[in-house]
């Protein structure tokens, strides 16, 4: 009989780094309090944190950011943004000093209990949550005005709930402070909200980590237009993947194939179907324009006739 990974006191790592052993949070003295915590696992995400953190800090009971060896001042920037908005009391910064295997073949070759494993890294991060609910958030995901309100409303309601929440997001490819390309041609909605319990822990999958769930769960999907995922066209969007070319052959990577297609098309001066070019006015950053004005005012729903070819029609 296989023992569930979330049972017992916690996990040790094969390298013997006792300071980075995992104690499951439900086993911590005092247990878990009501509320929701957003957990960000980041490396070199400093440029986007001024957009990511303020609405997230307002929407959640707490935000935990784990810096995995950034050399661009990510941790310092996160502390600065939280302080600037008067929300330092809702923010915690932690450091994870080990190099983590990139998704794909590199991840597959690493022992699940290694400090270099994506699964171990995620479990270590979430072991520091002290609320009964958690949001798996990325360092490039920005809530829209609607998204902030929706997440804040949910954060107090799900504090006692056994439910998984699926959160949609749209890729926003940023060319400059005033110009970006929003991909509305792909329905991308993943599980981002989870209860904190032994039933919901991370384990190893073929190309990345995966969160375990019970056989029967309540699952809710939020509407589109609540979150964008920042993709800086002058950056290295796929650095955390062993081999981006593998997107073309993996049946599990339809979303990454789409991102690879859009990324390369935009670099070649082409705008794929389903991608909308957006320009902000003078003095307004395009990320603020998209999240505060453009997306909240866009007609609903976004209708995709053919997701593989990303044909988009906006219908009032």
- The region, left, alpha or beta by phi > 0 then psi within -120 to 50, assigned to residue 86 is left
Average pLDDT for 206-221 = 86
Instruction: Report pLDDT for 314.
Output: 39
**Length of the chain counted residue by residue:** 316
- Dihedral sign for Cα atoms in the order 241, 245, 246, 252: positive
Please state, in angstroms and rounded to a whole number, the distance separating the CA atoms of residues 91 and 64: 6
pLDDT tens for residues 263-310? 989 999 999 999 999 999 999 999 999 999 999 999 887 755 444 433
CA nearest to 4, candidates 176, 215, 159: 215
CA angle 11, 158, 49 (to 5 degrees): 75
Cβ contact 12:124 at 8 Å:
no
pLDDT of 12 above 80:
yes
Model's pTM, two decimal places? 0.89
Instruction: For residue 303, give both structure tokens.
Output: 């209708």
Q: What percent of the chain has pLDDT over 70?
A: 87
Best CA proximity match to 224, nearest among 151, 302, 299, 286: 302
Check residue 1 and give its pLDDT.
Answer: 41
Sign of CA dihedral 248, 251, 252, 254: positive
Do residues 305 and 311 touch, judged by C-beta distance below 8 A?
A: yes
| Mean pLDDT of the residues in the chain | 88
Output 28 or 307, whichever has higher pLDDT: 28
Q: Residue 265 corresponds to which tokens in the numbers above? A: 């098309």
User: What is the model's pLDDT at position 152?
Assistant: 93
Pick from 308, 302, 116, 139: which is nearest to 226 by CA? 302
State mean pLDDT over 50-69.
97
Confidence of residue 316 (pLDDT cuts 50, 70, 90): very low
Q: What angle, rounded to 10 degrees, do the helices at 145-157 and 49-59 form?
A: 40
Contacts of 290 (CB under 8 A, 6+ apart): 144, 172, 180, 182, 228, 278, 280
Residue 252 has pLDDT above 80, yes or no: no
DSSP symbols for 271-303 = --TTEEEEEPPTTS-HHHHIIIIIHHHS-S-EE
Contact 228, 168 (CB under 8 A): no
């Amino acid at each position: 009989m296989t023992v569930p990974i979330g049972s017992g006191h916690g996990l040790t790592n094969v390298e013997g780094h006792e300071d980075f052993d995992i104690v499951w949070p439900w086993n911590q003295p005092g247990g878990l309090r009501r509320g929701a915590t957003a957990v960000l696992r980041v490396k070199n995400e400093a440029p986007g944190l001024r957009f990511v953190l303020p609405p997230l800090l307002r929407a959640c009971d707490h935000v935990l950011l784990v810096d995995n060896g950034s050399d661009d001042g990510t941790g310092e920037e996160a502390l600065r943004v939280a302080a600037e908005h008067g929300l330092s009391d809702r923010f915690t910064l932690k450091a994870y000093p080990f190099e983590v295997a990139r998704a794909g073949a590199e991840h597959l070759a690493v022992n699940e209990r290694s400090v270099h494993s994506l699964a171990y890294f995620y479990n270590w991060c979430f072991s520091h949550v002290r609320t009964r609910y958690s949001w798996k958030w990325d360092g490039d995901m920005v809530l829209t005005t609607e998204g902030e309100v929706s997440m804040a409303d949910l954060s107090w309601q799900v504090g006692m709930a056994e439910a998984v929440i699926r959160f949609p997001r749209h890729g926003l490819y940023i060319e400059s402070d005033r110009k970006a390309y929003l991909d509305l041609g792909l329905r991308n909605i993943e599980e981002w909200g989870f209860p904190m319990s032994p039933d919901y822990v991370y384990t190893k999958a073929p190309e990345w980590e995966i969160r375990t769930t019970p056989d029967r769960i309540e699952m809710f999907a939020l509407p589109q237009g609540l979150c964008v995922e920042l993709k800086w066209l002058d950056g290295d969007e796929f650095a955390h993947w062993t081999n981006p070319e593998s997107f073309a052959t993996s049946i599990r990577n339809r979303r990454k194939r789409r991102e690879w297609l859009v990324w390369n098309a935009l670099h070649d001066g082409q705008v794929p179907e389903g991608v909308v070019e957006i320009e902000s006015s003078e003095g307004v950053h395009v990320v603020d324009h998209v999240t505060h004005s453009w997306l909240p005012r866009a007609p609903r729903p976004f209708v995709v006739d053919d997701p593989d070819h990303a044909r988009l029609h906006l219908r009032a």
